[in-house]
Structures are given as C-alpha cells and as structure tokens.
Amino acid sequence: MSEPGISTPVHDELSAALSLRDAISARSDEIEAGKMVPADLIQRLNEQGLFGLTIPAALGGAERSPLEVLALIEELAYADSAVAWCGMIYLTTAMSAAQLPEPHAASIYRPGVITAGATAPTGRARRVEGGLEVTGRWAWGSGSHHADWIVGGVMVEDSDDILRFPGGAPAVHIVYFEKSQVTLHDNWDPSGMRGTGSVDFEVENAFVPEGRWIVQGSGELNIDTPLYRFPFFGFFAACVAAIPLGIARRALDDFAELARGKATGRKSLAESSLTQMEYGQADAQSEAARHYLFSTVSEIWEDVAAGQSASQEQMRQLRLAATQSTMLAAAAVDKLYNAGGGTSLQGYCSLQRHFRDVHVATQHRMVSSGLLQLGGAMALLEDHPGSPQL
C-alpha cells in the first residue's frame, strides 16, 4: 500500500494520525456497535491537534493547506471511516471561523474546541433584542455528541417574508449554539457509517447573540488568508471525497490479506488470474480517483495561494473531481467486495463494512451524481443566458 503523499508533506498532524492508525482501527467494532466514536478516542485525537487544521492561525489553529487537510481525512478513513467522517465535519465547520465577527470567533475557536452541525436551513429565526431567537430541528448532526458548539442553518423572518440577498436568494444564516442549548435525538440507525452518531438535533427558542453567525454565500471574510479564499463548497466536497479514498485504500489491503489466505481448490484466491485482474482494476480505480482529486485541488490551491481567485471553470472542475473520485473509489470497493465471494458477506469480514460505508459517502449531496450533470450543463450551456453557475 502506498502511503498518502501526492504533493502533501507529512505534517505533524498527519504523522500523529499515522502513528494512531492501529489504535483507531482496533476500536472499529466498538465504534460501530455504539453508533458513535467514543469520547476518549475523540479527545485523544483532538489532543494531537487533528481537528485544528482549518482553524485560523490568528486564533491559535494550524491553518494547513487544503491538500494537507485532505491527506489527514484520507488517513483517518483508512483507520476508521466513522472517525474520518466526524473529523471531516469538525474540519469543514471550523472554516467558518474566518467569517465570524472577531469577538465571537475568538471566544468560540479557542485551542482544542470542536464545532459540528448542519447548514441546511431547517431552522427559523426571528429578531429579538440583542440577537436572534431560533427554533428548529436538523438532520445529520454527525459527531455532535463531542462538539463544544453546534451550528444550524436558519431562515430569518423579515416582515411577511424572510431575509434575502438583493437578487432575491434567501440569506441563510449559520448560527452557533452552545452545546447546552441543543437537544440530541437518539435516532441514528443506518446501514453504513454507523459510528458517526449522525443524529437529529433540535433547539427551541434558543437565543443567539448579535453576530454569532455567518451568512452563507456572503463572501465576507474577517480573516482574509488563502485557505479561506479557497472555494468553500468545492473544498467541502473534496473533504467528503477523501473518505471514500481512504476506505478504498483500506479495502485493497484487507482484500489482499483475505486473498492470500483463502483457498479455492488447491490454490489461494490470490493465485487466481481473475482475482488478480479484479484487484488490479480496483487498484487502478483507487489511484485514478486520488490523483484526479489531489491534482485538481493542488492546481487551484497554487493560484489561490498566489492571490488569484478561483475561476468558474476551476470550481466546475473541482466539483467534478470530488464527485467522480467518490464514484471511482466506490467502484473499486464494489469490485473487491464482489471478488471476495461469500466471505464478503460475513460479519467478521471488513469488506462488508467498507462496502456499506462507502455507499453512505456516495449519498452525500456534496458528491452526488447530480453534480456531474451540473458540471456538464455548465460546459455545454456556457454561452446560454441563465446557464448554471457554482
């Protein structure tokens, strides 16, 4: 197995994740059975700084490059996909620190803080003296059990309508709740990614003081450094895609171990020419997925780090790369699962877990197949009035 490293230096946090790989993997059964990552494991990873890579340096965070963040998520996914999923949520949520007004950013994003939540605007807010009063319920609260602050997307009431941008689009506010304001529901029982603890969370008449929110899509930055100028939704999609990459790498190694030890007649499964072909194809799909995603992110990062803004074409390519890389990684896992035959079905075989987990990742809206259609439409209708944009 090749170690992560396409244009990504092995920074301190990645080294820590590599050193903890076996300790994380050893708890995968416990994580799945408990339907969340144990608090002590989250604490151990947090103490190594693994969730501070996207917190601004001005606030005491590591502020690593997008490639370094992707490499960390991929490595965590190799060790355990649920750990990686929670880490991905913590890392992408922390990107909002650069948009928060300074007093709130400094009070929330202290060293070791964890933020999680969901940005879908399923909450409702109204203006009250000194801030907003919010009521709502959100799905997909991955990792929220271990978060210090939890965010939720809301529509803000404005007379008989909601607050909107000048062009008419809703001005979705992402508000920060203290953990004590939030009720977590015990309703997470999926087929895959069982250990992510992606429960619903709810608030009722929760007070959010003035400015403890960001307005999605406003583009306003209070900390204006290259990481936070990188296209956020493309970065989010790339972070989601890094998890199938890690799952595929782990599936390749687990299948190789299985194939060398499983007999089919007088030969091992590894000696079968058909198995060798399937393994080679899965390996190629996994590597192609990784190179596509990492090279696209690298190209855009070079421009953004040099002070340029990402173009619409670069953003289109980034969304295509994240989506197609996810699909290629899932296809690689599928091929290995099928090649394992009846053994893949057994609860003791890790391939069945990789199969279930990777197909949860493919359902995420950031990497859904519809993004390929959007990318195609943007290219084909480039000169048409009202052509789609990212």
pLDDT over threshold 50, residue 151:
yes
* pLDDT tens digits, one per residue of 74-123: 999 999 999 999 999 999 999 999 999 999 999 999 989 999 999 999 99
In percent, the amount of the chain with pLDDT more than 70 equals 97
Q: Are 326 and 292 in contact (CB under 8 A)?
A: no
State in Å, rounded, how far the first CA of the chain is from the last one.
Answer: 36
DSSP state of 170: B
The average pLDDT across 244-265 equals 92
Q: What is the pLDDT of residue 105?
A: 98
Report the chain's C-alpha Rg in angstroms.
21
Secondary structure of residue 134 in the 3-state scheme: strand
pLDDT, residue 9, reads: 60
> Which residue ranges form the domains of the chain, and what is each CATH number?
12-98 (1.10.540.10), 115-215 (2.40.110.10), 230-380 (1.20.140.10)
* Distance separating alpha carbons of residues 191 and 314, to the nearest angstrom: 35
Kind of pairing between the strands at 213-215 and 183-184:
unpaired
pLDDT at residue 8 greater than cutoff 80 = no
CA distances from 45 to 65, 90, 116, 262 (A): 19, 12, 16, 35
> What pLDDT score does 3 carry?
46
291: Cβ contacts below 8 Å, ≥ 6 apart: 6
Q: What is the pLDDT of residue 5?
A: 46
pLDDT tens digits for range 294-333:
999 999 999 999 999 999 999 999 999 999 999 999 999 9
388: pLDDT strictly greater than 80: no
| Chain length of the chain | 390
Name the least confident of 174-188, 236-250, 327-341, 364-378: 364-378
**CA of 168: how far to CAs of 65, 233, 308, in Å?**
34, 21, 28
Indicate the average pLDDT of the chain: 95
d(CA 252, CA 352) in angstroms, rounded, equals 13
